[in-house]
Amino acid sequence: MSDLLSQISFNEIMAFEKEKRTTFVNSLNGFKTVGLIGTKSKNGQTNLAIFNSFIHIGANPPLIGFICRPSSAERHTLENILETGFFTINHINENILKQAHQTSARYDRNQSEFEETGLTEEYKNDFFAPFVKESRVQIGLEFKEKIEISINNTILIIGQIVDVYFPEEILKADGFLDLEAANSIISCGLDSYHKTKKLKRLSYAKVGKVLETIK
Amino acid sequence: MSDLLSQISFNEIMAFEKEKRTTFVNSLNGFKTVGLIGTKSKNGQTNLAIFNSFIHIGANPPLIGFICRPSSAERHTLENILETGFFTINHINENILKQAHQTSARYDRNQSEFEETGLTEEYKNDFFAPFVKESRVQIGLEFKEKIEISINNTILIIGQIVDVYFPEEILKADGFLDLEAANSIISCGLDSYHKTKKLKRLSYAKVGKVLETIK
């Protein structure tokens, strides 16, 4: 691979046709966890949608955020969360990759992506929103805050973790969840999916101290 | 791996001691791109800090956000961005993993993490903030918006892309950047680093249409 780097400027990005610009900026932003957000309307209509815009907000209390585009197919998810106050995040593994990706199609409000894609609704512990049975890492969340990002009319939704479900073996003594062992996959851009291969864990960085690999 | 999933509730997470809770919630949130944010103060003091909280805000115009914790070592980055209006995001590859992780140590305001870790400042195209020469995917951004997340006193910083640098070979005709070919690595939690292995790209999902693999 060449040592010299190519340059693309703001004006060149803006001159791309729309799909190319979307693909470019989404992939530039890097690899990220993809998850399925499960919701249910007051009337009992379930919805399932793939998102790749999750963000760690804080651990105390445990909060997860994600960006939602109200003008897109994502609006059904948003409406259900604001109407009922609950949602689930379900990690995606290789076995359910195609079904997960298919949830991004523009189904009608009265169609459930669970039925349309063949994924299975799961209810447990009296939690209102549906989990995805085929997912190996499932998180139930309570809606906490909606923040409008005026610069491009997107919304940051923040939820607080109510319950987490995962295979017992992936929880390490120090609290680390080995998601690679759970086969959670990641995405890049809007349509590329990847497995991960662990390099190492590194010790807490301190000034003047040599880093060690955590076994 | 067992089929049955373990359950951990909000109350159990809150009862974890602090470090375990932080490790658990950070890893639960999944794999994500890590990048080095490069900044420079008005006085010319450079700063470099590792972040794993990047989020795609939008493509038109091209916007990237990240979460900043003002109470932590991250505050020098925040101060420089608000003072000067510019910052860089530099992808991390395996060759600079240890130096990148070491930037999270609590260096003083008058110490540069470039000098302390041996990474190289690079200036080009009259951009104010320093890039990391060893990085293969570099993004220069102009500060656009600061959004306070009151629920836990964190801040969402949004920047607009000014310039992007990358190896020419990784840009595909449709705008997709093959970050795997650029050896960009990802993190899980606060200290675990991983390579990626491509599974596939899937076609745009439509109702009633079978997904195809994009070659």
Instruction: Give the mean model confidence (pLDDT) for residues A49-57.
Output: 94
- Percent of chain A whose predicted confidence (pLDDT) is above 90: 89
Of B56, B154, B198, the CB nearest to A53: B56
| B54 pLDDT more than 70 | yes
Instruction: Tell me how far apart the alpha carbons of residues A46 and A36 are, in angstroms, rounded to a whole number.
Output: 13
When pLDDT is averaged across residues A21-25 and rounded to a whole number, the result is 95
The yes-or-no verdict on residue A141 having pLDDT over 70 is yes
CB A211 within 8 A of CB A203: yes
Question: How would you class B210 by CB atoms within 10 Å of its CB: exposed for 0-12, middle for 13-18, buried for 19 or more?
Answer: exposed
**What does the pLDDT read at residue B1?**
62
Scan for tokens 């932003």, then name that residue.
Answer: A29
Q: Give me the pLDDT at residue A71, please.
A: 76
Give the separation between CA B131 and CA B121, rounded to whole angstroms: 6
Q: pLDDT for A202-213, tens place per residue?
A: 999 999 999 999
A15 at B interface, C-beta within 8 A: no
Q: Do A162 and B200 touch (CB under 8 A)?
A: no
Whether the per-residue pLDDT at A5 is higher than 90: the answer is yes
Give the per-residue pLDDT at A2.
63
One-letter amino acid of A203: S
Give the pLDDT score at B215: 78
Q: How far is A123 from chain B (nearest CA, A)?
A: 13
Interval A69-85: pLDDT, tens: 887 778 899 999 999 99
Nearest-Cα residue of chain A relative to residue B171: A24
The verdict on A133 touching B (C-beta cutoff 8 Å) is no
Measured between alpha carbons, how far is residue A126 from residues A130, A160, B94, B143, B199 in Å?
10, 17, 45, 44, 36
| pLDDT number for residue B3 | 76
Q: Which residue has better confidence, B3 or A131?
A: A131
- Other CB atoms within a 10 A radius of the CB of residue B98 amount to 17
Contact call for A192 and B198, based on CB within 8 A: yes
A167 touches chain B (CB under 8 A): yes
3-class secondary-structure state, position B41: coil
Q: Which amino acid makes up residue B97?
A: L
In this prediction the ipTM stands at 0.93
Q: Do B10 and A97 touch (CB under 8 A)?
A: no
Task: Find residues 102-131 of chain B whose CB sits inside 8 Å of chain A.
Answer: 102-107, 116, 125
A154: distance to nearest CA of chain B, Å? 8
Chain A residues close to B201, C-beta within 8 Å: 191-193
For B18, the enclosing helix (H) or strand (E) is: helix B18-28
Token digits of residue B113: 């993490």
Q: Quick one: closest CA in B to A111, which residue?
A: B207
Cβ partners under 8 Å of residue B82, min gap 6: B143, B146
Element (H, E) at A42: none
Contact A142, A88 (CB under 8 A): no
The nearest alpha carbon in chain A to B203 belongs to: A191
| Distance from the Cα of residue B40 to its chain's centroid | 18
B175 and A20 in contact by Cβ < 8 A?
Answer: yes
Tell me the pLDDT tens digit for each residue of A89-133: 999 999 999 999 999 999 988 899 999 999 999 999 999 999 999
Average pLDDT of span B149-175: 95
B91 → chain A, closest CA residue: A30
Q: Which residues of A62-82 are buried (b: 16+ CB within 10 A; e: fewer)?
A: bbbbbbbbeeebbebbbebbe
Structure tokens at B167: 């190896």
Residue A138 has pLDDT above 80, yes or no: yes
Q: Do the Cβ atoms of B62 and A26 come within 8 Å?
A: no
Per cent of chain B over pLDDT 70 is: 99
pLDDT of residue B2: 63
The pTM of the full predicted model, rounded to 2 decimals, is 0.95
Contact yes or no for B63 and A203 at CB 8 A: no
Q: Mean pLDDT over all residues of chain A? A: 94
CA separation for the pair A107, A47 (Å, rounded): 10
Say whether pLDDT at B211 is over 70. yes
In the prediction, which pLDDT does B94 show? Answer: 94
Output the pLDDT for position A115: 95
> Of B161, B35, B177, nearest to A6 (Cα)?
B177
Query: Any idea how long chain B is?
Result: 215
Structure tokens, A176:
């680390």
